[in-house]
Chain A
Amino acid sequence: MKSSTICEEWLNSLPPTQGYLKNEQSIGREFLSEQGMPSKKDEAWRLSNFNRLNSFLTLPTIIGNEDIKTKFKSIFPEKDQNRERIIINPNKNPIFNINLPEGIEELNNREIEENIGKIVCSTNIKNDISVCLNQASSSQLLALKVKGNSNQSLEIVIPSIEEKSISTRILLLVEEGAKLDLLQIFLGNHNSAQNHLIEIKLESKVELTHGLLSLGEEKESSSICTVAVEQSEKSKYSLNSIHHGWDYARFEPRIIQSDGEASTIIKGLQVTKSKEQIATHSLIRFEGPNGKLDQLQKAVASEYSHCIFNGSIEVPQKAQKTEAAQLSRNLLLSKRAKIDTKPELEIVADDVRCTHGATVSQLQDEELFYLLSRGIDNEHANSLLLQGYYDEVISHFPKSAEKWNFIEKLIQDIKK
């Protein structure tokens, strides 16, 4: 079946537009009905595995209570005492039955109306296919506000449902001077798809540490996630992400420093095996002077898998004295695996310091021999080396993330 037909059929299968996301749903559906799904001719999608992408359209989006009972992943490690957990169940209004810590509130209708879609516009992603897919199908919104000058921790878990496609949407406003340590966990399920749109607005002097643990771990699991962040001056945003175990995953962080004068740190890791494809397409734009970016993207590809990184940095004329460093480091563990990495720097301002680099290598033989020569067996030596390789990203996650056992997962299934 042609992808345009699949897209049309999918749009027809969606429930009528309704609720407070009605307007957003219409925007997404109209765009998709006019533009259809991307093709190999679209630069941002040309390396994408379109068969897998179609699973977002072919899996049913309507979820019954029975599905939640039987096909919803619901066993998780115990939550931390000082970190409230929100589990997003796509069949319920996620705000129900959750304990929010003091200092975090849900947005009222007026605040939602004022802010929804705004960051999508300011980060210039309103015509992105990933975003439109989410807009078209999201029916619930988790909308939170972190109150000014407070210091908070929060965990948001988003499980998948077997044989279903789900869309979730989060809007997060962090008020002036607040600190937030946010840990998000995406979990895959057998033959499932999940699509997330997370909009975050950081007011001035905010510090947000955003850990994103995206673990597919099941056959035929797919994920698309867009994180759109608007940073005000003097804010600090650290995004640490790990993608692993997805048959198909696409991660799109879109960050704008709206007045410059802010700091962005991104540490990303994607690990693929068998025939998986995981892609990160990041874009950071500086709309004012003195902005800082430190970006490290790591990938490890084994067997027949494919890792993709596309890192755009935009420094317009008004963003003088920007300091941006981007590094893409990749490990290719098999002859048949593939890594595509592409930095894209668009620099107009003349007084800036921007660096970028990309390396693709294999595990170092001399490092391996050193470990072997101390009596450590081959398998253990390889896993120590991989752990060392992951460390630059993993070490930025909060200690409480370890209970999701992702480190073992990252090492377990990689064979040299």
Chain B
Amino acid sequence: MISSTSETILSIKDLHASVEDQEILHGVNLLVKEGEIHAIMGRNGSGKSTLSKVIAGHPSYKVLSGSIQFKGTNILELEPEERARIGIFLGFQYPVEIPGVSNLEFLRVATNSRRKELLASELDTFEFEDLVKERLKIVEMDPAFLERSVNEGFSGGEKKRNEILQMALLEPVISILDETDSGLDIDALRIVASGINTLSKPNTATILITHYQRLLNEITPDFVHIMANGKIIKTGSKELAIDLERSGYDFINKDAKDKEMAT
């Protein structure tokens, strides 16, 4: 799927970012092209989730320097809702529960916001119900979840499926999925992974943030990046994830130290 002429979707250069005045990202560089699947791995606190929140435009995170371009446009000035509408999707590690807000209504409003950007017609309640029922199949989700409040009382697995359902409806250009595999049993992991595979298209891209190699057994990444101390310190192929699973992060540390010594 990847060719040298593929268009660049996301380009992050020397990104420094902080939360509550503490610098978390210390110069991240990342290039994601059409059709690519990237996996970002790393210890807790290495800055993986921060990177995803910064790309999505969370107001608590401040970009200190560097740039993020989406299809050649600087997105740092865009509001989170504007970033979502142009096709940047963040799958939350902990999807938020919103009592009293119907999941169906939320999905419809969100879908229509994205459709407006794509110059597609707005869907009324009936049209939307048809669409959502079709997309529910991708994540094998019970339609009863549409009648409930957004994520309220959903199990961990149901929340993650609801995230992938949103991805299926919004049809993003790039999906950043933050630990979508955490808290999933084997069956749910398989369903979620198959959903992500179905939704990956030659003109879209995916960034998987994960701790474990097991998700990567289901979704084959083109690149695996290791993050530590707010930086991507190593990039490789799927084998890197396998090495990591086998030897833990210590080998990375050793590798990094060796490099430092050499320089």
Contact = CB atoms under 8 A, between A and B. Distances in A.
Given A377-B113, A384-B101, A366 B84 contact: no
Contacts of B80: 369, 372-373
A388 B114 contact: no
A365 B60 contact: yes
Interface in A110-151: none
Interface string A358-382: 0000001111011111111110110
A375 B170 contact: yes
Interface stretch (B24-32, B92-100, B132-140, B253-261): B92-100
A67 interface: no
A391 interface: yes
A327 to B, nearest CB: 14
A392 interface: yes
A10 B163 CA distance: 64
Interface in B72-98: 79-81, 83-85, 90, 92, 95-96, 98
A381 B114 CA distance: 14
B123 interface: no
B100 A388 contact: yes
Interface string A385-397: 1011111100000
Contact of B110 (A375, A378, A388, A389): A375
B100 A372 contact: no
A366 B113 contact: no
B114 A370 contact: no
Contacts, number: 79
A370 B110 contact: no
A306 B14 CA distance: 49
A388 to B, nearest CB: 3
Contacts of A392: 99-100
Tell me the interface secondary structure of chain A in the complex.
helix
A372 B53 CA distance: 12
B99 A388 contact: yes
B251 interface: no
A369 B59 contact: yes
Interface residues of B, number: 30
B58 interface: yes
B106 A384 contact: yes
Interface string B199-237: 000000000000000000000000000000000000000
A375 B113 contact: yes
A391 B84 contact: no
Contacts of B186: none
Given A380-B109, A387-B101, A372 B81 contact: yes
B110 A374 contact: yes
B117 interface: yes
A373 B58 CA distance: 8
B170 to A, nearest CB: 7
A130 B88 CA distance: 57
Given A388-B101, A388-B149, A374 B166 contact: yes
B100 A376 contact: no
Interface in B55-73: 56-60
Contact of A387 (B56, B100, B114): B100
Interface string B47-59: 0000000001111
Query: Which are the 6 A-B pairs with shortest beta-carbon distances?
Result: A388-B100, A391-B100, A375-B113, A374-B110, A375-B84, A388-B101
25 contacts: A364-B96, A366-B96, A367-B96, A369-B59, A370-B92, A372-B57, A372-B81, A373-B81, A373-B84, A373-B92, A374-B84, A374-B106, A374-B166, A374-B170, A376-B109, A377-B113, A380-B109, A384-B98, A384-B106, A385-B98, A385-B101, A387-B100, A388-B149, A390-B100, A391-B100
